[in-house]
């Protein structure tokens, strides 16, 4: 039996999603809770890897079991009681054996949050960036971004991928009344470090340190060394992972 988990987490205390030797990860913490509750070893596969300090409003993972389990609100509640406060399972549901949390996903939607003023009640949840920004110019840069499909210039150099092509569905900046500037960006896939590097580069544009012509030239150059520095991880949120409707047909939200 294969099961999908829908969860969310605050990434501040974790060294990213993926299990690693140098720190606590979301994946390791989730596996430990499932193993304890189900009383058998459980190994999960996520829809994608988030870096250290990155958050997820919606993340999916799958795991396999030899025997079916009785799904209920009580089961989800009991696993959430084992998990730390900064990780929460929303639902757990069966899928076909060939449905894969990563490879069956058709889209990912991220937001990046920036504030000009420090907020003592939200440490590590937004990027506190003081300079004034030309948001109109940054949105023009988003329109340039939408015209392209190869984003090698925004990928970390050691990214283990066969190609750097992504299909963007939308990309735009939006300022709220509560002093929050947010990048909304959705694509079929994202490269390692891609969103944070796009944000860092667009902050250069917003400050007048890079022209729109230079921005398009660096995309075409396919050279990470000429793009801006990556923005800090604490402002980045994985908001939504999209799947075909047939995969989610048995999804029931508990609680």
Q: What is the DSSP string of 6-69?
A: EEEE-GGGSS-SS-BTTB--HHHHHHHHHHHHHTS----EESSPPPTT-EEEEEEEEEE-SS--
Residue 51 annotated among the catalytic residues of the structure: yes
- The backbone region for 99, taken as left when phi is positive above 0, alpha when psi lies in -120 to 50, beta otherwise, is beta
| Interval 173-195 mean pLDDT | 93
* pLDDT over 90 percentage in the chain: 85
Structure confidence at residue 224 (pLDDT): 85
Structure confidence at residue 103 (pLDDT): 96
| Interval 197-216 mean pLDDT | 96
Residue with the larger pLDDT of the pair 62 and 124: 62
**Residue 81 above 80 pLDDT?**
yes
Structure confidence at residue 159 (pLDDT): 60
Where would I find the H helices in the chain? 26-38, 73-82, 135-146, 194-206, 212-221
Tell me the β-bridge partners of 63.
Answer: 3
Structure confidence at residue 162 (pLDDT): 84
Judge whether 2-104 and 107-238 match in fold: yes
**Residue 128 above 80 pLDDT?**
yes
Q: Which of 51, 73, 86, 169 is catalytic?
A: 51
Q: At CA 81, angle to CA 124 and CA 111, rounded to 5? A: 30
For 226, which DSSP code? Answer: G
Question: What does pLDDT average to over the chain?
Answer: 94
Confidence grade of residue 195 (pLDDT, cut at 50, 70, 90): very high
| Interval 155-169 mean pLDDT | 84
Sole residue written with tokens 């947010």: 182
**Residue 104 above 90 pLDDT?**
yes
The residue ranges of every structural domain in the chain are: 2-104, 107-238
Inter-helix orientation angle 194-206/135-146, to 10° = 140
| CATH number at 2-104 | 3.30.70.580
**Residue 20 above 90 pLDDT?**
no
Question: Which CATH class for the 107-238 domain?
Answer: alpha beta
| Interval 82-100 mean pLDDT | 97
| 110 is annotated as contributing to ligand binding | yes
Structure confidence at residue 119 (pLDDT): 86
Structure confidence at residue 255 (pLDDT): 61
């Amino acid at each position: 039996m294969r099961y999908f988990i829908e969860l969310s987490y605050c990434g501040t205390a974790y060294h990213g999603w993926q299990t690693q030797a140098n720190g606590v990860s979301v994946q390791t913490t989730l596996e430990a809770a499932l193993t304890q509750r189900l009383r058998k070893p459980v190994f999960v596969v996520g829809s994608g890897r988030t870096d250290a300090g990155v958050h997820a409003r919606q993340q999916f993972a799958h795991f396999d079991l030899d025997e079916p389990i009785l799904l209920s609100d009580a089961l989800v509640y009991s696993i959430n009681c084992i998990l730390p406060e900064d990780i929460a399972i929303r639902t757990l549901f069966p899928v076909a054996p060939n449905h894969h949390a990563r490879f069956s996903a058709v889209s990912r939607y991220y937001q990046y949050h920036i504030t000009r003023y420090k907020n003592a009640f939200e440490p590590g949840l937004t990027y506190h960036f003081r300079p004034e920004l030309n948001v109109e110019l940054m949105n023009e840069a988003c329109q340039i971004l939408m015209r392209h499909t190869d984003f090698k210039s925004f990928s970390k150099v050691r990214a283990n991928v066969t190609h750097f092509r992504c299909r963007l569905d939308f990309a735009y900046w939006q300022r709220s009344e509560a002093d929050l500037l947010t990048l909304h960006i959705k694509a079929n896939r994202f490269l390692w470090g891609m969103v944070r590097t796009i944000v860092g580069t667009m902050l250069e544009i917003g400050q007048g340190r890079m022209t729109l012509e230079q921005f398009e030239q660096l995309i075409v150059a396919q050279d990470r060394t000429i793009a801006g520095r990556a923005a800090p991880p604490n402002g980045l949120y994985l908001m939504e992972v999209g799947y075909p409707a047939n995969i989610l047909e048995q999804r029931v939200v508990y609680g």
